[in-house]
Protein backbone atom coordinates (compact mmCIF):
# COMPACT_ATOMS: atom_id res chain seq x y z
CA UNK A 1 0.00 0.00 0.00
CA UNK A 2 1.65 3.25 -1.08
CA UNK A 3 1.82 6.30 1.17
CA UNK A 4 -1.06 8.72 1.10
CA UNK A 5 -0.02 11.98 -0.63
CA UNK A 6 -0.36 14.13 2.53
CA UNK A 7 1.53 11.53 4.52
CA UNK A 8 4.39 11.50 2.01
CA UNK A 9 4.62 15.30 2.17
CA UNK A 10 4.59 15.20 5.97
CA UNK A 11 7.41 12.64 6.00
CA UNK A 12 9.49 14.73 3.59
CA UNK A 13 8.89 17.87 5.64
CA UNK A 14 9.74 16.09 8.90
CA UNK A 15 12.97 14.73 7.44
CA UNK A 16 13.89 18.26 6.29
CA UNK A 17 13.32 19.52 9.84
CA UNK A 18 10.22 21.56 8.98
CA UNK A 19 8.86 23.14 12.17
CA UNK A 20 5.19 22.48 11.40
CA UNK A 21 5.81 18.82 10.51
CA UNK A 22 7.84 18.40 13.70
CA UNK A 23 4.96 19.89 15.72
CA UNK A 24 2.53 17.40 14.19
CA UNK A 25 4.80 14.44 15.00
CA UNK A 26 5.52 15.82 18.49
CA UNK A 27 1.76 16.06 19.09
CA UNK A 28 1.37 12.40 18.20
CA UNK A 29 4.25 11.49 20.52
CA UNK A 30 2.63 13.48 23.33
CA UNK A 31 -0.69 11.66 22.89
CA UNK A 32 1.07 8.28 22.99
CA UNK A 33 2.90 9.16 26.19
CA UNK A 34 -0.23 10.52 27.88
CA UNK A 35 -2.19 7.40 26.90
CA UNK A 36 -0.28 5.11 29.19
CA UNK A 37 3.01 6.45 30.44
CA UNK A 38 2.19 9.29 32.83
CA UNK A 39 4.31 7.60 35.46
CA UNK A 40 7.33 8.41 33.31
CA UNK A 41 6.49 12.14 33.19
CA UNK A 42 9.85 13.08 34.75
CA UNK A 43 11.57 11.29 31.87
CA UNK A 44 9.42 12.64 29.04
CA UNK A 45 11.93 15.21 27.75
CA UNK A 46 14.62 12.60 27.23
CA UNK A 47 12.06 10.08 26.03
CA UNK A 48 10.65 12.48 23.43
CA UNK A 49 14.14 13.05 22.10
CA UNK A 50 14.82 9.31 21.89
CA UNK A 51 11.50 8.77 20.11
CA UNK A 52 12.24 11.52 17.58
CA UNK A 53 15.62 9.94 16.87
CA UNK A 54 14.04 6.51 16.37
CA UNK A 55 11.43 7.95 14.04
CA UNK A 56 14.06 9.82 12.03
CA UNK A 57 16.28 6.75 11.78
CA UNK A 58 13.37 4.57 10.69
CA UNK A 59 12.11 7.06 8.12
CA UNK A 60 15.59 7.70 6.73
CA UNK A 61 16.23 3.96 6.63
CA UNK A 62 13.02 3.38 4.66
CA UNK A 63 11.52 1.17 7.38
CA UNK A 64 8.10 2.83 7.20
CA UNK A 65 6.27 0.80 4.55
CA UNK A 66 2.96 2.61 4.79
CA UNK A 67 0.95 -0.41 5.97
CA UNK A 68 -0.48 1.82 8.67
CA UNK A 69 -0.85 5.56 8.95
CA UNK A 70 2.18 7.59 9.93
CA UNK A 71 0.34 8.59 13.08
CA UNK A 72 -0.08 4.92 14.07
CA UNK A 73 3.58 4.29 13.25
CA UNK A 74 4.72 7.19 15.47
CA UNK A 75 2.38 6.02 18.23
CA UNK A 76 3.85 2.49 18.12
CA UNK A 77 7.44 3.76 18.19
CA UNK A 78 6.53 6.02 21.12
CA UNK A 79 4.94 3.19 23.09
CA UNK A 80 7.87 0.85 22.40
CA UNK A 81 10.40 3.47 23.52
CA UNK A 82 8.43 4.08 26.72
CA UNK A 83 8.20 0.34 27.39
CA UNK A 84 11.96 0.00 26.85
CA UNK A 85 12.57 2.82 29.35
CA UNK A 86 10.28 1.14 31.87
CA UNK A 87 12.13 -2.16 31.45
CA UNK A 88 15.50 -0.48 31.93
CA UNK A 89 14.22 1.20 35.10
CA UNK A 90 12.94 -2.11 36.48
CA UNK A 91 16.28 -3.80 35.90
CA UNK A 92 18.02 -1.25 38.08
CA UNK A 93 15.70 -1.84 41.02
CA UNK A 94 16.17 -4.65 43.49
CA UNK A 95 14.54 -7.71 42.00
CA UNK A 96 12.46 -10.29 43.83
CA UNK A 97 12.41 -13.50 41.75
CA UNK A 98 9.08 -14.39 40.17
CA UNK A 99 9.90 -18.07 40.12
CA UNK A 100 11.49 -19.73 43.07
CA UNK A 101 13.94 -22.54 42.55
CA UNK A 102 12.86 -24.10 45.78
CA UNK A 103 10.53 -23.57 48.74
CA UNK A 104 11.07 -20.30 50.52
CA UNK A 105 13.34 -18.84 47.85
CA UNK A 106 11.10 -15.78 47.49
CA UNK A 107 11.20 -13.36 50.40
CA UNK A 108 9.24 -10.24 51.15
CA UNK A 109 8.42 -7.97 54.08
CA UNK A 110 4.71 -8.83 53.97
CA UNK A 111 4.92 -12.57 54.67
CA UNK A 112 1.17 -13.44 54.95
CA UNK A 113 0.31 -11.78 51.63
CA UNK A 114 3.48 -13.16 50.10
CA UNK A 115 2.53 -16.70 51.14
CA UNK A 116 -0.84 -16.35 49.41
CA UNK A 117 0.79 -14.85 46.32
CA UNK A 118 3.46 -17.57 46.23
CA UNK A 119 0.78 -20.26 46.52
CA UNK A 120 -1.33 -18.75 43.76
CA UNK A 121 1.69 -18.16 41.56
CA UNK A 122 2.95 -21.72 42.00
CA UNK A 123 -0.51 -23.10 41.15
CA UNK A 124 -0.61 -20.95 38.03
CA UNK A 125 2.92 -21.81 36.92
CA UNK A 126 2.69 -25.55 37.56
CA UNK A 127 0.95 -26.00 34.19
CA UNK A 128 3.98 -24.62 32.36
CA UNK A 129 7.05 -26.60 31.37
CA UNK A 130 10.34 -25.38 32.92
CA UNK A 131 11.40 -23.56 29.73
CA UNK A 132 8.14 -21.58 29.70
CA UNK A 133 8.50 -20.73 33.40
CA UNK A 134 11.98 -19.40 32.67
CA UNK A 135 10.59 -17.41 29.76
CA UNK A 136 7.85 -15.87 31.92
CA UNK A 137 10.46 -14.96 34.53
CA UNK A 138 12.73 -13.30 31.96
CA UNK A 139 9.96 -11.29 30.30
CA UNK A 140 7.71 -10.35 33.22
CA UNK A 141 9.96 -10.38 36.28
CA UNK A 142 13.30 -9.35 34.82
CA UNK A 143 11.64 -7.10 32.21
CA UNK A 144 13.91 -8.20 29.39
CA UNK A 145 12.89 -7.38 25.85
CA UNK A 146 11.99 -10.19 23.47
CA UNK A 147 15.29 -9.55 21.67
CA UNK A 148 17.26 -9.96 24.90
CA UNK A 149 15.36 -13.13 25.82
CA UNK A 150 15.97 -14.55 22.35
CA UNK A 151 19.70 -13.90 22.69
CA UNK A 152 19.79 -15.53 26.14
CA UNK A 153 17.88 -18.61 25.04
CA UNK A 154 19.56 -18.89 21.66
CA UNK A 155 16.31 -18.76 19.68
CA UNK A 156 14.71 -16.29 17.29
CA UNK A 157 12.72 -13.34 18.57
CA UNK A 158 9.62 -14.64 16.79
CA UNK A 159 9.96 -17.90 18.69
CA UNK A 160 10.06 -16.00 21.98
CA UNK A 161 6.93 -14.06 21.04
CA UNK A 162 5.09 -17.26 20.13
CA UNK A 163 6.18 -19.01 23.34
CA UNK A 164 5.13 -16.04 25.48
CA UNK A 165 1.76 -15.93 23.73
CA UNK A 166 1.18 -19.65 24.33
CA UNK A 167 2.41 -19.45 27.93
CA UNK A 168 0.10 -16.55 28.66
CA UNK A 169 -2.81 -18.47 27.14
CA UNK A 170 -2.02 -21.46 29.38
CA UNK A 171 -1.76 -19.19 32.42
CA UNK A 172 -5.07 -17.53 31.57
CA UNK A 173 -6.74 -20.92 31.20
CA UNK A 174 -5.26 -22.06 34.53
CA UNK A 175 -6.35 -18.79 36.21
CA UNK A 176 -9.90 -19.24 34.93
CA UNK A 177 -9.92 -22.81 36.20
CA UNK A 178 -8.61 -21.82 39.63
CA UNK A 179 -11.12 -18.97 39.95
CA UNK A 180 -13.99 -21.24 38.88
CA UNK A 181 -12.97 -23.67 41.61
CA UNK A 182 -12.82 -20.87 44.17
CA UNK A 183 -16.33 -19.73 43.23
CA UNK A 184 -17.66 -23.30 43.42
CA UNK A 185 -16.32 -23.63 46.99
CA UNK A 186 -18.25 -20.60 48.21
Question: What is the reported pLDDT for 66?
Answer: 86
Give the residue with greater pLDDT, 145 vs 104: 145
How large is the average pLDDT for residues 91-105? 50
pLDDT above 70 covers a percentage of the chain that reads 78
Domain boundaries, the chain: 5-92, 111-185
**Quick one: which of 99, 86, 96, 92 has its CA closest to 145?**
86
C-alpha distances in Å from residue 47, one per residue of 24, 29, 71, 117, 173: 17, 10, 18, 34, 37
Residue-wise pLDDT tens digits, 157-177: 899 889 888 888 888 888 888
d(CA 63, CA 185): 54
Give the residue with greater pLDDT, 93 vs 65: 65
Global pTM reads: 0.51
Give the residue with greater pLDDT, 3 vs 22: 22
- Second-level CATH architecture of 111-185: Orthogonal Bundle (1.10)
CB-CB contact of 87 with 143 (8 Å): yes
d(CA 186, CA 181): 9
In the chain, how long is the greatest CA-to-CA distance?
66
Question: What is the reported pLDDT for 125?
Answer: 80
d(CA 63, CA 19): 23
Q: What's the topology of domain 5-92?
A: Rna Polymerase Sigma Factor; Chain: A (1.10.1740)
C-alpha distances in Å from residue 114, one per residue of 108, 117, 122: 7, 5, 12
Residue-wise pLDDT tens digits, 33-68: 888 777 777 888 888 899 999 999 999 999 898 889
Give the residue with greater pLDDT, 95 vs 55: 55
Region label for 145, one of left (φ > 0), alpha (ψ between -120 and 50) or beta (otherwise): beta
Question: What is the reported pLDDT for 186?
Answer: 55
Q: Is 2 helix (H, G, I), strand (E, B) or coil?
A: coil
Amino acid sequence: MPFEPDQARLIEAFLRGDLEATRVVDGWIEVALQDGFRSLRDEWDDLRQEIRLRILANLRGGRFAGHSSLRTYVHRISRNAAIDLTRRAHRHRERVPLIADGPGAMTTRDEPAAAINRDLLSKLLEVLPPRDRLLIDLVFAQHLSYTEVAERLGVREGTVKALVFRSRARLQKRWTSLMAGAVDRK
